[in-house]
Every structure is written in C-alpha cells, then in structure tokens.
Structure 1
C-alpha cells in the first residue's frame, strides 16, 4: 500500500537559539519546527539551513563540510549530541533542541 503525501506523519520539535545564531535567524529566541517522522538532527539542520540560508550554514558547519563546528553545542532534551548518536540522533515529537555556540577569548 502506498502512502499518500497527506498521510505522511509529521513531528514538531522546539528549537532554541542562543548566542550569535539568534542574530542570524532574527529576533526570535525559539521556534517550533515541523519535520517528517523519523527525522534526525541532520535533517533538522538541513531544514534550518534552507530556511535561514548561507549565514546559518557558515555559523553551524565546518567550511566545505557537513560536520557541525567543534565550537557548537547541540543538545536534545538536555543531552549533548556526543552522548547520543551525533547528528544521526533521531528526533521525537516534542523534543527540545538547543543550538549554542561556545565563545572563547583571551
């Protein structure tokens, strides 16, 4: 049996932006993002990259790569991605994702 496009299950996750990424996406600090069921952090980041464009990509990803920059912390429900399955971590309806750049200086 084929699934009709209208029958595709969706999930909603809350994304909270902290640090300079908040300036990139606008004035909102958090928003709800709708994704296809079984979506991962990678899918979420791709969706956000499409929505917010090149400035978002440059802030999150390593140059010429799809790896998240080492100076970025991403959590899902309070757990760091390296405590989970990295960007392959599957999301569930109602998850809370935080994008937080690490700032360092001298």
Structure 2
C-alpha cells in the first residue's frame, strides 16, 4: 500500500524531503512508519521525534489524515492505503 508523508518546518531541514509517497506493508502502524522513514528517508529520524522509551516527544505532533494521533491510537494508529501522515515539529510562539 502507499502512504503520503510530509515533513514540515525543521523536520524538512532534517529529512531534506517535504513530501514523499512510501510503499509500505499493509496494516502498519505510525511507529512502524517511523522505522521505515529511518531506513528509507532519513537515518536517525526516530531519534529526533521519539524519546528513550520510544514514545513521541511531547512537543512533536503527528497527523493522520488531519487528525492528531493523540486522539487516535497514538503511535499504534494503523495506517491504510492512501493515508496522509504529517510530522510537525515544536511550534514557537509568543
């Protein structure tokens, strides 16, 4: 199956990719996708967005089809063919 993946702001600087389509196995999770990104897009991507316990660092946001994984099943959210996954870095403000 295929999923669309976007890396915004500073994550684009790390991956050097704004948008890509990845061929992935059926039934993978967001966490599985992060491993695939490490192997095929940007080595050590997982070290940037995951903590030492393999949980998403608080300041990062992952959207699946426009919905935060925080409101789905977290990193265990299953992906389907054609899904769009967006990785967002910490947002500054003030």
What's the TM-score once normalised by structure 1's chain length? Answer: 0.80
Q: What corresponds to 1:40 in structure 2?
A: 29
Secondary structure of the residue aligned to 2:24 is strand
Corresponding residue number in structure 2 for 1:23 = 13
CA distance in 1, matches of 2:59, 2:50: 10
Matches within 5 A, 1:1-106: 11-26=1-16, 28-51=17-40, 52-54=42-44, 56-62=45-51, 64-104=52-92
**Secondary structure of the structure 1 residue equivalent to 2:43:** helix
Give the corresponding residue for 1:6.
none
SS at the partner of 2:82? coil
Moved over 6 A (4+): none
- Pairwise CA RMSD of aligned residues? 1.4
Report the alpha carbon displacement of residue 105 of structure 1 after superposing the two structures with TM.
Answer: 6.0
Could you tell me which runs of 5 or more consecutive residues in structure 1 were left unpaired when the two chains were aligned. 1-10
| Partner Cα distance (2:32, 2:20) in 1 | 16
Deviates more, 1:14-23 or 1:44-53: 44-53
Displacement after TM superposition at 1:58 (Å): 2.7
